[in-house]
A = this chain, B = another copy of it.
Amino acid sequence: MGRSSVEAIETKEMDYQSLPSPQHQQAPYMHKVGVPPKQNLFDEFKTTVKETLFADDPLRSFKDQSRSRKFVLGWQAVFPILDWGRSYNVSKFRGDLIAGLTIASLCIPQDIGYSKLANLAPQYGLYSSFVPPLIYAFMGSSRDIAIGPVAVVSLLLGSLLSNEIDPTTNPNEYRRLAFTATFFAGITQATLGILRLGFLIDFLSHAAVVGFMGGAAITIALQQLKGFLGIKKFTKETDIISVMKSVWRSAHHGWNLPTILIGATFLIFLLFAKYAGKKNKKLFWIPAIAPLISVILSTFFVYITHAEKEGVEIVRHIEKGINPPSVSEIYFTGDYLLKGLKIGIVAGMIALTEAVAIGRTFASMKDYQLDGNKEMVALGAMNVVGSMTSCYVTTGSFSRSAVNYMAGCQTAVSNIIMSVVVFLTLLFITPLFEYTPNAILAAIIISAVIGLIDYEAAILIWRIDKFDFVACMGAFFGVVFASVEIGLLIAVSISFAKILLQVTRPRTAILGKIPRTNVYRNIQQYPEATQVPGVLIVRVDSAIYFSNSNYTRERILRWLMDEDEQLESAGFPKIRFLIVDMSPVTDIDTSGIHAFEELHRSLQKREVQLVLSNPGRQVIDKLHASNFVSQIGEDKIFLTVADAVLTCSSKFPDVVV
């Protein structure tokens, strides 16, 4: 835009000297714009539905198969274990056994800690690591994901539930509402999968998830200060200011020194183990078993020193035995049904986002395909069954999945191994956790959630896309300074705002001819590109729909006026041809065509001829259907910008100077 046309004309003349000008030789070959064969309405509809809901072609393997084969394939689709189970062998089992034992040792202390985040008794965390992983092993198709309770979902669930019911005064109602929410989380996940609406979770952008996770990690770590410092009176708010006030107020008499000593010692040990595992990838098992070792050592220490009498808080009571049934506890009627549904939808979506992101990451690392919608059905089924067996919302855990992967898991059998270990723990070992100090659980959680603060990703986001960075920071500060829900709301809102911005304000560019070629490109990207005198070439970079048709029309007119102003002040002739390069315009609707009709009318008043280049399949179809082609003339539509320029300048020789 800033480029004066004087320069353009000079360069143009130079071009003419250095290159043989095609139009002085013979009429160059020009190919016509293709009008595709008319699709019938049903076919068009079918294609749209297919691309929207069945983009991954899930029935591909069913094609051309016998009926009995289709039956087998159908069962295998629902229970992938029937498929991969047939080629299972001892060497795979060895990998799965080691991985399963490793993640089990990691999950047991984490589960006890996470259930506290959800304001539930410690055994519910263990219950949730027994049933859901089993179900997933039969129905899921990821080979690397490790199922169980996770920190962020536990925090979110705890925070949403305690908005409705106080967990300390009404623990029974609270637990019942938790199962209700879990049930509906599962229903939500399965429904999205069955209706093939899995793409809805794509609306939470990567940047927003990075910010949300980081903020949640900080919030969770702050919550652990209660256990870590041995504070008795602690705020129920989760924002950083309330927590810091709470910590500060209790500084003089509320902190417990023995607690801090135990916690700090083991936190240093855990962080050191983490560091060792990071330095040397072969030592991945050190951070994986460090939590269990910490629990065993600290529990033993408290047991022999009776530190609980010094004010060190311990787990005290943890139920023995496996999951009791809980179908009858779910609220299927009344006020809490609706509340449970609402919380379930939110928690289910977040759990889904985490699980699908993990599944995709590992699938792409091992290069196997993952059907997102099928995954959702598996995750949904496992949460529905979980809600009936005293589990709360579970999903794929990032830290445990990474350990699982590095420990050499081969299939979902590692989840079965983990589940069996948890089962044995529930049957025989739980009473031993009685003397486990809460400070250790706090230290384990802190060292686990630190990994969720992905500052490297945040830096990369800053480097690549500033708007994404705003979304990331918005979600982060929302969670840290307000609450998990508000952070989530900010993340979703900013993500949507970005989409709306994309569709209302498409980019436009002025094109110029790149020297020594026949190619026209954005003059801002290619400053060496020269504009053709008397011709303005504008490219519109988006489908033209009702949401942007008015803007597009006004923007094109503004380009024209700006250019004319410059030309006039330089004493050059005005623009005579406006070529709109439609290459990136993938579609147009009735509002878009209206806008073009109005543009055409405005241009006629200014004695500027509208010319189109390279309209796509859908566009040329609709331009014909609406008679716009005959309004501007069939001969005003070209295959390429070069063809259009050639014709414009040959018809009106004064344009070329």
What residues of chain A have their CB less than 8 Å away from a CB belonging to chain B?
29, 31, 34, 36, 41, 44-45, 48, 51-52, 55-57, 199, 202-207, 360, 364-365, 367, 372, 457, 460-461, 463-468, 495, 498-507, 509, 514-519, 521-522, 524-527, 541-543, 545-551, 554-555, 558, 583-584, 586-587, 589-591, 593-594, 598, 601-602, 605, 614, 616-618, 620, 622, 625-626, 639-640
Contact = CB atoms under 8 A, between A and B. Distances in A.
A369 to B, nearest CB: 8
B589 A468 contact: yes
The 7 closest A-B pairs by CB, nearest first: A205-B546, A584-B584, A541-B586, A206-B591, A525-B617, A34-B526, A34-B525
A500 B495 CA distance: 12
B55 A587 contact: no
Given A207-B546, A586-B584, A626-B460, A525 B36 contact: yes
Contacts of A524: 36, 617
Q: How many copies are assembled?
A: 2
A541 B51 contact: no
Given A44-B466, A202-B550, A519 B584 contact: no
A600 to B, nearest CB: 10
Contacts of A554: 55-56
29 contacts: A31-B515, A31-B516, A44-B466, A45-B466, A48-B467, A52-B501, A55-B554, A56-B554, A199-B551, A202-B548, A202-B551, A364-B598, A364-B602, A367-B605, A460-B626, A461-B590, A463-B625, A463-B626, A464-B590, A468-B590, A499-B503, A502-B543, A503-B503, A518-B518, A519-B640, A521-B614, A525-B616, A583-B583, A583-B584
B584 A541 contact: yes
Nearest to A589: B465
Given A522-B617, A617-B522, A547 B499 contact: yes
A464 B526 contact: no
B464 A626 contact: yes
A200 to B, nearest CB: 9
A648 B354 CA distance: 40
Contacts of A522: 616-617
Nearest to A515: B31
A203 B547 contact: yes
B591 A31 contact: no
Contacts of A465: 589-590, 622
A461 B591 CA distance: 9
Contacts of A468: 589-590
Nearest to A48: B467
A586 B546 contact: no
A645 to B, nearest CB: 14
Contacts of A551: 55, 199, 202
Given A205-B545, A522-B617, 13 more contacts: A34-B521, A34-B526, A34-B527, A55-B555, A202-B548, A207-B546, A360-B550, A365-B601, A372-B550, A457-B590, A519-B639, A525-B617, A542-B542
